[in-house]
């Protein structure tokens, strides 16, 4: 797959977007315009009729986006490279439709930083997943990190 980095997108956000895509992979998955399109998530899954089946946010989306997304899609998830405690605090007390059904996934910050630092203009990335452990290879560099699931409810 080819991924283009938007000029306003950080390397860490792009890496998190790619990891979210890989971890959510299924038929009908696509990366959207994301950063440049305020109405779409970073990753979207549609069935053969075009109906949205999964809405995958990256970063620190606001509670209103999650509330709207959960009403539009049967599956909503957030993948973040930011401080998950800050994100969870941001959502505390906010009105989010079926919030307890929305998983929040966070990555080891050191893993994201190492992976983002290894990405160059043309980079081949290989990723293996075992349970919640991620093993990435970029060129001759190998990196390992974990993804942790959190819940709002």
- Model pLDDT, residue 145: 96
**Claim: this prediction has a pTM higher than 0.75:** yes
Q: What is the CATH number of the domain that holds 137?
A: 3.10.640.10
Q: Is residue 107 part of a domain?
A: yes
Q: Is residue 2 part of a domain?
A: no
The more confidently predicted of residues 50 and 1 is 50
The model's pLDDT over 39-79, given as tens digits with 9 standing for 90+, comes to 889 999 999 999 999 999 999 999 999 999 999 999 999 99
- Name the residue range of residue 136's domain: 11-151
pLDDT confidence of 88, banded at 50, 70, 90?
very high
pLDDT confidence of 153, banded at 50, 70, 90?
low
Q: Is residue 1 part of a domain?
A: no
Q: Is residue 6 part of a domain?
A: no
Q: How many domains does the chain have?
A: 1
Would you say the C-alpha torsion 89, 91, 95, 97 has a positive or negative sign?
A: negative
Q: Is residue 3 part of a domain?
A: no
Q: Which of 101-123 are b and which e, b meaning 16 or more Cβ less than 10 Å from the residue's Cβ?
A: ebebbbbbeebbbbbbebbeeee
Q: Is residue 4 part of a domain?
A: no
């Amino acid at each position: 797959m080819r991924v283009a980095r938007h000029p306003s997108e950080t390397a860490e956000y792009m890496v998190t977007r790619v990891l979210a895509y890989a971890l959510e992979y299924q038929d009908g998955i696509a990366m959207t315009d994301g950063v440049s399109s305020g109405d779409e998530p970073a990753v979207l899954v549609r069935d053969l009729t075009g109906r949205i089946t999964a809405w995958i946010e990256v970063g620190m989306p606001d509670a209103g986006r999650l509330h709207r997304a959960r009403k539009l899609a049967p599956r909503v998830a957030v993948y973040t490279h930011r401080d998950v405690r800050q994100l969870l605090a941001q959502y505390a007390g906010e009105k989010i439709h079926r919030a307890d059904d929305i998983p929040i996934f966070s990555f080891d910050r050191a893993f994201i930083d190492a992976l983002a630092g290894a990405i160059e203009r043309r980079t081949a990335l290989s990723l293996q997943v075992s349970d919640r452990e991620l093993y990435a290879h970029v060129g001759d560099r190998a990196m390992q990190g974990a993804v942790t699931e959190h819940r709002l409810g």
